[in-house]
Amino acid sequence: MSDECHLCLLGLIVLSSLLTGSSGVDDAHVFISSGEDVHLSCNNALPDCNSTTWNYNRFRHSATDELIALGKKKNNTERHERLSLGPDCSLNINNISTEDYGYYTCRQYVNDKQQGTDARVFLHILHVSSSSSSSSQTEISAGRSVTLFCQLYSFAEGSCDDWISSEIIELFWVNQAGVKLTRSDSRYQILSSSDHCIITLTTTLLNEDHNREWRCEVTQRDQVKTSATYTVKSSAQAETVTAVIPVHITNSQDPSTTTSS
């Protein structure tokens, strides 16, 4: 076959992909700490958001929850009060909780017919908690051992070990100076559970730990995506310290978090 025919055939394949939508839209991965607000972009949006529908799935094969239908919020969703549709057809979610992790699908309909392919956004949520209390604040006496839990809630089904390995995801604790805490430091006991994307930090609080901050970070390919901190604050009424969890300081939703499906 001549070079001209090869070019013609290639052109027909490309044109067919554009017409049928089989060329696909890149999936986006967004990392955020619990308690923050998030903005999920719709990469396949049409000029009129009345054609936009947003769906949510916890896992790949779980039941679908329709959040936005043709530009309007659904009233029968638990997230109703925290949802809004941006002027660019993006989905805004306020006060993210660990229940919000999973993947979100932006889909376009015109005259009841789907247009093009889905635009998917995978939302990964970092959450810090303490063994001392499930609430956001608790009093811990100096000299007492405390365990901090840092968990990445992800769309991965079952073990997230394979996903962490393939995407080069890492969870770790750092001190106030940003230095990574390691198992070689006898003061800290650090354990990782790849099955549930959890890293724990156990330590005994000292008097000098008052107002000290430990931060849990998640990185992808050595780039920090988001972090949450555990801050120990002095109490003026008693010889105790108050643990405040979490204080969110970092959030990355730059284009580098987008990967092809």
Q: Are residues 119 and 107 in the same domain?
A: yes
pLDDT, the chain, mean: 75
Rg (CA), the chain: 23
Q: Are residues 179 and 109 in the same domain?
A: no
Would you say residue 257 has pLDDT above 90?
no
Domain assignment present for residue 9? The answer is: no
* Domain end (from 60, 95, 125): 125
Q: What is the DSSP letter of 8?
A: H
Domain assignment present for residue 140? The answer is: yes
- The answer to whether 38 and 102 are in contact (CB under 8 A) is no
Q: Are residues 40 and 90 in the same domain?
A: yes
Q: Are residues 152 and 119 in the same domain?
A: no
Q: Are residues 207 and 159 in the same domain?
A: yes
Q: What is the DSSP letter of 180?
A: B
Would you say residue 44 has pLDDT above 50?
yes
Residue 126's nearest CA partner among 215, 241, 243 is: 215
Q: Are residues 166 and 97 in the same domain?
A: no
Mean pLDDT, residues 187-206:
84
Domain assignment present for residue 17? The answer is: no
Q: Are residues 143 and 192 in the same domain?
A: yes
Owning domain of residue 80 = 25-125
Which carries the bigger pLDDT value, residue 98 or residue 60?
98
Q: Are residues 160 and 108 in the same domain?
A: no
pLDDT band at 250 (very low <50, low <70, confident <90, very high): very low
Based on the number of CB atoms within 10 Å of its own CB, is 188 exposed (0-12), middle (13-18) or buried (19 or more)?
A: middle
Encode pLDDT of 70-100 as tens digits: 999 887 767 778 999 999 999 999 999 999 9
- The backbone region for 35, taken as left when phi is positive above 0, alpha when psi lies in -120 to 50, beta otherwise, is left
Domain assignment present for residue 231? The answer is: yes
- Total number of domains in the chain: 2
Domain assignment present for residue 233? The answer is: yes
Nearest-10 Cα torsion for 67, 71, 75, 77? 10
* Domain end (from 125, 143, 164): 125
* Domain end (from 99, 125, 151): 125
Mean pLDDT, residues 30-40:
94
Q: Are residues 85 and 162 in the same domain?
A: no
Exposure class string for 220-232: b at 16+ Cβ within 10 A, else e: beeeebbbbbbbb
Encode pLDDT of 136-174 as tens digits: 444 566 677 788 899 999 876 545 666 666 677 889 999
Position 162 scores a pLDDT of 65
- pTM, entire model: 0.74
Q: Are residues 107 and 139 in the same domain?
A: no
Domain assignment present for residue 261? The answer is: no
Would you say residue 214 has pLDDT above 90?
no
Domain assignment present for residue 45? The answer is: yes
Q: Are residues 38 and 84 in the same domain?
A: yes
Q: Are residues 70 and 31 in the same domain?
A: yes
The CATH number of the domain holding residue 248 is: 2.60.40.10
